[in-house]
């Protein structure tokens, strides 16, 4: 008899963003004339930068000619892209990362979801922030590393509480954690971490022989020059951290799909006999078996951001979303809400001081604006909503006007 993976039954019925989308579709079906502005999921709206489009077109033309046609590419990604990533994203920032330590992929979500596969399924102590990007938790639940969900939390996980009291920066836990997920600039709170704070985590991981999965998908929104863009700016991180990056938000690739994960050749974990094991080879083995690489035109398009002109276009694009964030922050603060994020991050985390799904419903029904209820990111998200700055400026202006009118009326 074919049996299911019972761990899936521990999960909430649907993934957060699918649930939101379902609720919005139901509302729209019942209110076909109501204009809806989406500031929920962090999905980009601006077209790809010109440099990317040009490279994309040229690469598609190469596929039309037998002399330049490409079949399977290298599983780890083309060297032309990996070398540029190593140079522009790391070495220019003083982080010692080489091209052969980079694994190009089709998404930071997939990578952050799949990385858990190379670690033990039993007796692994996993620490996740709360609130958290749900993928880190759900994939470990699927793999059977947790007990059931009791009162909004999975048994067996270590929850790192991020609240207004610690400015949404988690402290290292008293209990030993073997695998730690960190995300900065943070999704969903928009909080950023300093080098000093990040160093505490790297030191903790060295001390406890732990591993950090550092999700830096939003690093392109950092404008404060003192903030770290990569965990490898911290000494010692090469041994204890894997970093996940994405072109999705950096260069508008949510529909194009390109990302990468860095597993330094010095990064280690341990086997059951406590012998050191090289994680670079393990992840390489996993990718070679399960992944066939990202298409050549997409990698060409991604590599185009690594030039003076490319960087300028990407910055202009992200400044545009940051301008939206500034407006959202100003209006929500003006309404009297305590907010975080929105300055070096595209998300604004708003303390609504009320049930977050109720706040979501109110904004949807009265203002026609979709946000993300904080409770969907974990227990500590209750009371909050997340507003995404990804949309065009005029829509954000209109959304804020509608929210202001709706809340003043309420
Ligand atoms: C979000 O809105 O949190 C992100 O867009 C989700 C994702 O990147 O998968």
**Which tens digits make up the pLDDT trace of 164-193?**
999 999 999 998 999 999 999 999 999 999
Q: Which atom of ligand 1 is nearest to the CA of 246?
A: 8
Q: Which atom of ligand 1 is nearest to the CA of 133?
A: 3
Q: 306 C-alpha vs ligand 1 centroid, how far in Å?
A: 24
Model pTM score = 0.97
Instruction: Give DSSP secondary structure letters for 283-302.
Output: HHHHHHHH-----HHHHHHH
Residue bearing the CA closest to ligand 1, atom 9: 109
pLDDT at 46: 98
pLDDT at 394: 98
pLDDT at 7: 97
DSSP 87: I
pLDDT at 409: 74
Spell out, as residue ranges, where the chain has pLDDT lower than 50: none
Neighbours of 290 (CB within 10 A): 10
pLDDT at 78: 98
Q: 41 C-alpha vs ligand 1 centroid, how far in Å?
A: 6
Q: 30 C-alpha vs ligand 1 centroid, how far in Å?
A: 27
| Token duo for residue 200 | 């505490």
Please name each of the domains of the chain with its CATH number.
Answer: 6-47+309-409 (3.90.1150.10), 52-307 (3.40.640.10)
pLDDT at 15: 85
pLDDT at 3: 97
pLDDT at 70: 98
Q: For 31-74, what is each residue's pLDDT tens digit?
A: 999 999 999 999 999 999 999 999 999 999 999 999 999 999 99
Burial 195-207, CB ≥16 within 10 A → b, else e: eebbbebbebbee
Angle between helices 296-303 and 50-63 (to 10 degrees): 150
């Amino acid at each position: 008899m074919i049996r299911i993976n019972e761990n899936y039954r521990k999960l909430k019925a649907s993934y957060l963003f699918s649930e939101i989308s379902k609720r919005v579709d139901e509302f729209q079906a019942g209110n076909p004339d109501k204009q809806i502005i989406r500031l929920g999921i962090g999905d980009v709206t601006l077209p790809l930068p010109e440099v990317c489009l040009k490279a994309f077109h040229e690469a598609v033309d190469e596929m039309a000619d037998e002399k330049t046609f490409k079949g399977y590419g290298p599983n780890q990604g083309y060297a032309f892209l990996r070398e540029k990533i190593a140079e522009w994203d790391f070495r220019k920032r003083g982080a010692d990362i080489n091209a052969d330590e980079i694994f190009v992929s089709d998404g930071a979500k997939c990578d952050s979801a799949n990385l858990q596969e190379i670690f033990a399924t039993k007796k692994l102590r996993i620490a996740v922030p709360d609130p958290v990007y749900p993928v880190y938790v759900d994939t470990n639940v699927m793999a059977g590393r947790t007990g059931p969900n009791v009162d909004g939390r999975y048994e067996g996980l270590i929850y790192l509480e991020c609240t207004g009291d610690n400015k949404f920066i988690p402290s290292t836990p008293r209990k030993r954690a073997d695998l730690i997920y960190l995300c900065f600039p943070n999704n969903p709170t928009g909080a950023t971490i300093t080098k000093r704070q990040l160093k505490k985590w790297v030191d903790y991981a060295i001390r406890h022989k732990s591993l950090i999965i550092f999700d830096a998908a939003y690093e392109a929104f950092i404008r404060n020059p003192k903030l770290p863009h990569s965990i490898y700016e911290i000494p010692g991180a090469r041994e204890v951290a894997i970093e996940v990056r994405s072109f999705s938000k950096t260069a508008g690739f949510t529909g194009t799909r390109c990302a990468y994960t860095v597993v330094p050749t010095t990064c280690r974990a341990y086997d059951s006999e406590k012998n050191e094991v090289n994680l670079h080879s393990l992840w390489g083995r996993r990718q070679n078996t399960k992944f066939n690489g990202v298409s050549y035109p997409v990698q060409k398009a991604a590599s185009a951001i690594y030039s003076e002109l490319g960087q300028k276009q990407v910055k202009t694009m992200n400044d545009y979303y940051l301008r939206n964030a500034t407006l959202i922050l100003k209006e929500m603060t003006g309404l009297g809400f305590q907010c975080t994020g929105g300055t070096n991050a595209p998300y604004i985390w708003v303390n609504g001081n009320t049930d977050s799904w109720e706040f979501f419903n109110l904004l949807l029904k009265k203002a026609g604006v979709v946000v993300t209820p904080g409770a969907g990111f974990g227990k500590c998200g209750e009371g909050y909503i997340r507003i995404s700055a990804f949309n065009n400026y005029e829509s954000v202006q209109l959304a804020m006007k509608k929210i202001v009118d709706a809340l003043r009326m309420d």
